[in-house]
Amino acid sequence: MENRVRLVGTLLAVVGALPVLPAGAHAVGRGAAVSSARRRVWLGDWVEVPLHRMEALAAGQEIKGPAIFESATTTVLVRESERVPVTPHGWLDIRLG
């Protein structure tokens, strides 16, 4: 008789240090982009918030919430108490309160 193991659920945690990535070719933006697009969202009430395209953001730029960030692969909502500096790699570093 053959014994079989059935995996029902898993949880994985990875701990480690990432290497520092060089800024340069992957750094984004040419200047501080200002968004003229807006989107209506529910934040306890309907409000109009600025809509930012992630590929248009400049490294070092900081945006205060509420705001929406969009790219081809994701949408990020930043609430009113949060602020978002853009890293040299074009990542959003969301800071709470």
What is residue 66's predicted lDDT score, i.e. its pLDDT? 96
Q: How much is the average pLDDT of 9-24?
A: 80
pLDDT, one tens digit per residue, over 59-93 is 999 999 999 999 999 999 999 999 999 998 888 99
What is residue 4's predicted lDDT score, i.e. its pLDDT? 87
State how far the alpha carbon of 85 is from the alpha carbons of 78, 79, 91, in Å: 12, 14, 8
Residue 26 has pLDDT above 70, yes or no: no
- b/e code 15-43 from CB counts within 10 Å (16+ = b): eeeeeeeeeeeeebbeeebebeeeeeeee
What is residue 97's predicted lDDT score, i.e. its pLDDT? 79
- The structural domains of the chain, with segments of one domain joined by +, span 38-85
Q: Would the pTM of this model clear 0.85, i.e. be above it?
A: no
